[in-house]
Amino acid sequence: MTLRIFRNAFLASLAAVIACTLFFVGIMYYSTHKLAFERLSAEAEQIASALSSYGDDYINTVTHASRVTLVAADGTVLFDNTADPSKMENHASREEIREALGGGTGECVRMSSTLLKNTLYYSKRLPDGRVLRVATTQDSVLSMSATALIPLFLGILLALALSGVLASRLANDITKPIYELNPEKTDALEVYPELLPLLESLLSQQRTIRAQMDELSRRQREFAAITENMREGFILVDNRRTILSCNRSGLVAISEHPRADEKTISRVWCKPQICDAVDCALAGERNEVLVDIGGRVVQVIASPVVSNLQVAGAVLLTMDVTEREQREALRREFTANVSHQLKTPLTSISGFAELLKEGFVPPEKVREFASDIYSESRRLIALIDDIIKLSRLDEGVPSTEREPVDLYELCDEIIEYMQPVAQKRSVSLNLQGEHVKILGVWSILNDIIYSLCDNAIKYNKPGGEVTINIKRSYGEVELSVSDTGVGIPYELQNRVFERFYRVEKSQSPSIGGTGLGLSIVKHGAQFHGARVELESEPGFGSKFTVIFPPESVIEDGVNENRTEK
């Protein structure tokens, strides 16, 4: 802009300089011209009056610098002080002579052949009809210009330099306020009020841009807050595998040692399966892989990002599916176990029934066979009951079924119920502690205590003891079932809560059990917000403690009691 203004200003001043120079030269030429004619006219007047006073001889005495010519009325040159009149042609056709013959005086300027000189002619008709002509030579415009060329050139140069400086200053003065234009300051308006609409539009644009920027950064913060707190990860890469955007979960999911400054997905720090999935997505195909990252199972879904019908990059979605996979594995294991556990008694039942049907069983053994079929089917029913209980716990029992349950009373009932079995195995049952009511589901609490007591009797030694104790401890309620039985090896103590897990795989059928009892205890406790602790020493006995949280305890009905059976 400055250059443009400078150029225009400079050209304008250059044009002004040239116009002034031409005008000046013209004026000069015109005034010189006029003065010359005035001088010639005065000279002609003076010679004419001298001729009338002193006669024609006077003309021979004229010694003027100007050329003097006397022409007859027919154009014949009678006298010329610079040439021989007899050799001169007839002047009747000359412009100044014709004018003088017609109007008394005549003027004419003729340019010489060299173009550098002009000849000025002034003619006056004498009273006798002849014409007196006075002529002088003068520099032509070109000649005058040439004479004044150097000062003119210097003057023009000076004018140009001055124009340059002034144009530059002018351009800077004009553009400076515009360069320093700040929509928030109105200084420029004092210099250019015309800029007001521009400033207003700039201000409104600035306000719009600021609002959009605020909105953008708000959304960015929101997006970052959402994505950073997401358990699922995402990573956006371009077609060179350069990471454009990602969240922390995304980086953590694809590497055991993620670094926040990683720029590309590479085999250096990523699992090869992930790199292959990215390559596949960049080739335009959606891909899904399960990767083991430091013991976690991560599902990675790589999809192509298509822009203008071309794959511009890929987006990776990662999910930690460890729990899902574990659940799936457990489910598969459970199904296999259930099938196996169901098949065993059913095969026995079917075998016994077939022998009976075919008449291979002697009459005295029929009772025994029937009893075996009965006990196998009881085992089957017990197993199915346990499976139903567990699946009910897995599905979630509606909390509306909760009611105040006095644990002491419940244990008392169970002990009463189990007494015959305990006596059969020569095991004594004890109940200690206080009446404590908790808000729970009676049937589940019954299953928990029953399973613990059943185990305590089953895995006891003849003459052993089982003690149930209910006590409060720091607001919590502890229900423990301890026995003096075989105990559980320390390294297996965590595993006994697994479904179908049994310490002795080949336990005698007379002991019974489905391998689901402690799973029901664990899940039943969890349903009540309780936890189960196990202390056991092989050869000395075990103690299972279910600890109910304070919030499940109902504060009335606290009653110290102690019973021994």
* Contacts with ligand ADP, residue ranges (CB under 6 A): 451, 455-456, 459, 483, 485-488, 496, 501-504, 513-519, 542
Q: How far is the CB of 392 from ligand ADP (least distance, A)?
A: 17
> Nearer Cβ to ligand ADP, position 66 or 451?
451
Compute the distance between CA of residue 281 and CA of residue 288 in angstroms, rounded to an integer.
10
> Nearer Cβ to ligand ADP, position 58 or 500?
500
Which residues fall within 8 angstroms of residue 318, CB to CB, at 6 or more apart?
A: 232, 233, 234, 235, 249, 250, 253, 254, 298, 299, 300, 301
Q: How far is the CB of 516 from ligand ADP (least distance, A)?
A: 6
Q: How far is the CB of 458 from ligand ADP (least distance, A)?
A: 6
Q: How far is the CB of 245 from ligand ADP (least distance, A)?
A: 50
Alpha-carbon distance values, 455 to 122, 391, 520 (Å): 156, 21, 13
Q: How far is the CB of 334 from ligand ADP (least distance, A)?
A: 13
Q: How far is the CB of 448 from ligand ADP (least distance, A)?
A: 11
Alpha-carbon distance values, 546 to 314, 394, 537 (Å): 51, 19, 18
> Nearer Cβ to ligand ADP, position 281 or 415?
415
* Farthest CA pair distance, the chain: 201
Q: How far is the CB of 249 from ligand ADP (least distance, A)?
A: 37
Compute the distance between CA of residue 239 and CA of residue 282 in angstroms, rounded to an integer.
6
Residue 211 burial (C-beta neighbours within 10 Å; 0-12, 13-18, 19+) = exposed
- Let me know: does 311 contact 241? Beta carbons within 8 Å: no
Compute the distance between CA of residue 429 and CA of residue 480 in angstroms, rounded to an integer.
13
> Nearer Cβ to ligand ADP, position 136 or 514?
514
> Residue written as tokens 């014409």?
131
> Nearer Cβ to ligand ADP, position 249 or 467?
467
Compute the distance between CA of residue 485 and CA of residue 461 in angstroms, rounded to an integer.
5
> Nearer Cβ to ligand ADP, position 249 or 514?
514
> Nearer Cβ to ligand ADP, position 233 or 513?
513
> Nearer Cβ to ligand ADP, position 278 or 427?
427
Q: How far is the CB of 524 from ligand ADP (least distance, A)?
A: 12
Q: How far is the CB of 389 from ligand ADP (least distance, A)?
A: 12
Compute the distance between CA of residue 168 and CA of residue 6 in angstroms, rounded to an integer.
5
Which DSSP category does 65 fall into?
A: S
> Residue written as tokens 């729970």?
440
Compute the distance between CA of residue 394 and CA of residue 519 in angstroms, rounded to an integer.
11
Compute the distance between CA of residue 80 and CA of residue 89 in angstroms, rounded to an integer.
12
Q: How far is the CB of 346 from ligand ADP (least distance, A)?
A: 18
| Main-chain dihedrals φ then ψ at residue 241, nearest 5 degrees | 65, 15
Which residues fall within 8 angstroms of residue 73, CB to CB, at 6 or more apart?
A: 101, 129, 130, 131
Which residues fall within 8 angstroms of residue 489, CB to CB, at 6 or more apart?
A: 503, 538
Residue 219 burial (C-beta neighbours within 10 Å; 0-12, 13-18, 19+) = exposed
> Nearer Cβ to ligand ADP, position 43 or 483?
483
Q: How far is the CB of 510 from ligand ADP (least distance, A)?
A: 13
> Nearer Cβ to ligand ADP, position 134 or 486?
486
Q: List the structure tokens of 300.
A: 């990675």
Residues composing the chain: 565
DSSP, collapsed to helix, strand or coil, labels residue 181 as coil
> Nearer Cβ to ligand ADP, position 313 or 517?
517
Q: How far is the CB of 379 from ligand ADP (least distance, A)?
A: 10
**Side chain identity at 40, as an amino acid letter?**
L
> Nearer Cβ to ligand ADP, position 277 or 496?
496
- Let me know: does 244 contact 236? Beta carbons within 8 Å: yes
Alpha-carbon distance values, 253 to 25, 304, 321 (Å): 92, 19, 11
